[in-house]
Structure 1
Amino acid sequence: MSRIIIYTQNDCPPCAFIKNYLSDQQVDFEERNIQNAAFRQQMIEHDAFATPFLLIDDEPMYQIDLDQINQKLGLSTHKND
């Protein structure tokens, strides 16, 4: 099973979207809100300056690309598959 960390911030619609998407797909993830200075620093150390920022098995994903996420996690793109 993949380890997923999502760096988020408050009032971030794309953050809410990806969290809801992964929850709907029954994928476990760890959320790290960058209001916490340590989490913000971790994100910056990955050269990431916008949320949501994902780490999937320690591999950074700077933009939300559902096709790439589905492929990495072995998710079906169709609800009935």
Structure 2
Amino acid sequence: MSNVIIYSQNDCPPCTFIKNYLTEKNVDYTEKNISLNSTYRNEMIDYDAFATPFILLNNEPMYQIDMDKINAELNIE
């Protein structure tokens, strides 16, 4: 099973897009909203990520939305 963590923030259209996409495809994910929790922001910065959405896909950092990689890793057709 894949492990997906999405670091997001309020009023972030790309964050909303990827969360909606994964929900539609019945992919479970953990959301960490940096607007609500500074600990999540610090976790993100530890990966040298400074923009949302920042995605950890099976513990591999994804600094921008790469739909081909997401679909391949999660076996989405």
- Measured against the shorter chain, the TM-score band is over 0.9
AA in 1 matched with 2:55: L
Percent of pairs with identical residues: 61
Bigger radius of gyration, 1 or 2? Answer: 1
**Aligned with 1:6: secondary structure?**
strand
Consecutive unaligned residues of structure 1, counting only runs of 5 or more, are 77-81
Aligned length: 76
How much does 1:57 deviate? 1.1
Moved over 4 A (4+): none
In the other structure, the counterpart of 1:79 is: none
State TM-score, norm by structure 1. 0.92
Superimposed CA distance per residue, residues 45-75 of structure 1 (whole angstroms, 9 cap, x where no aligned partner): 0010000000011100001011110011111
In the other structure, the counterpart of 2:62 is: 61
AA in 1 matched with 2:23: S
State TM-score, norm by structure 2. 0.96
